[in-house]
Amino acid sequence: MKLERNQIDFYAEKGYLLLENLFSADEINQLLREMPGIIGEDSPRRILEKNGSVRTFFAPHLDNLLMNRFATDERLLTPSRQLLQDDIYLYQSKLNTKFAMTGDWWDWHQDYTYWKKDDGVKQPQMLTAMIYLNDVNEFNGPLLVIPGSHDSGSFDEEENKVNVEDEKYEQYVLSEKYLTSLTADLKYTLKQKTIFDWATEKGLASLKGKAGSVLFFHCNLFHASSNNMSPWDRHTYLLTYNAISNFPADVLERRPDFLVNWNPTIL
């Protein structure tokens, strides 16, 4: 479905666009039924919270037909091509689970910082489409953003020193170098002063929405989410698209192919 001019203008101004009812309840229930079999697999693609619950499962589209069908659905691709103004390919997919009472927080950060510094992507011509698999309300850890924080480049790029010695992570001992891009102890986060200054000027938005909504957000948008202290899950399926002209072709040390798609196929 093509975006209208006013929707494209909203995204250009705010750095995000939330479309309600993009997917039907039946489609969302199909994804929810598929999820336990995917996240139940113990593998480096599965990132756990410190309390042992699942936080993320990367690249479910690689070996699950339904997940791949949604990742290549025109309801996501058409708006993404319009917003990125180029042909696109799927850069990364992940199921971000935020289980009731146990889902952890995501500190304030910009996604592009990771894709620039970890993967060598040259331009912030990327976006993420976040499919809401549950109703997102004020209690179960909605995404918090600073509207308009997407078009002033990258901030606070120095690397935090984070400790991954926690025994829960021992199974990732070989992948320690990328773990600090994926757990609650992120290596590139936005400083409190940066958030204070920007939020004072631009405000905050809490992006609540019904299951079946899709949030399109710019790769430089400041965003965070709190832990889920409610009795309701807040699961999401995130598809990151990159402009085909922005593929990081000349990068030598590549992160694993479940984090980054190194074989771009134009969608």
Interface residues with Fe ion (CB under 5 A)?
A: 111
- Find the binder of ligand 6CS among 11, 16, 99, 114 (CB under 6 A): 114
Per-residue x/- track, 80-109, ligand 6CS (CB under 6 A)? ------------x-x--------------x
Give the pairing type, strands 236-243 and 88-96: antiparallel
- Find the binder of ligand 6CS among 27, 73, 111, 233 (CB under 6 A): 111
- Please say which residue, 84 or 190, places its beta carbon nearer to Fe ion: 190
Smallest gap from Cβ 93 to ligand 6CS, in A, equals: 10
246 is in the binding site of which of ligand 6CS, Fe ion, none (Cβ under 5 to 8 A by kind)?
A: none
Does residue 44 contact residue 169 with C-beta atoms inside 8 Å?
A: no
Q: With CA atoms as reference, report the closest residue to 98 among 134, 152, 71.
A: 134
Residues 183-212 that bind ligand 6CS (CB under 6 A): 186
- Please say which residue, 27 or 228, places its beta carbon nearer to Fe ion: 228
Return the range that interacts with ligand 6CS (CB under 6 A); candidates 31-39, 131-139, 178-186, 202-210: 178-186
49 binds ligand 6CS (CB under 6 A): no
235 binds ligand 6CS (CB under 6 A): no
233 is in the binding site of which of ligand 6CS, Fe ion, none (Cβ under 5 to 8 A by kind)?
A: none
131 is in the binding site of which of ligand 6CS, Fe ion, none (Cβ under 5 to 8 A by kind)?
A: none
- Find the binder of ligand 6CS among 17, 71, 77, 182 (CB under 6 A): 182
121 binds ligand 6CS (CB under 6 A): no
Other CB atoms within a 10 A radius of the CB of residue 105 amount to 14
181 binds ligand 6CS (CB under 6 A): yes
By the criterion CB under 6 A, which residues form the site for ligand 6CS? 92, 94, 109, 111, 114, 118, 181-182, 186, 259
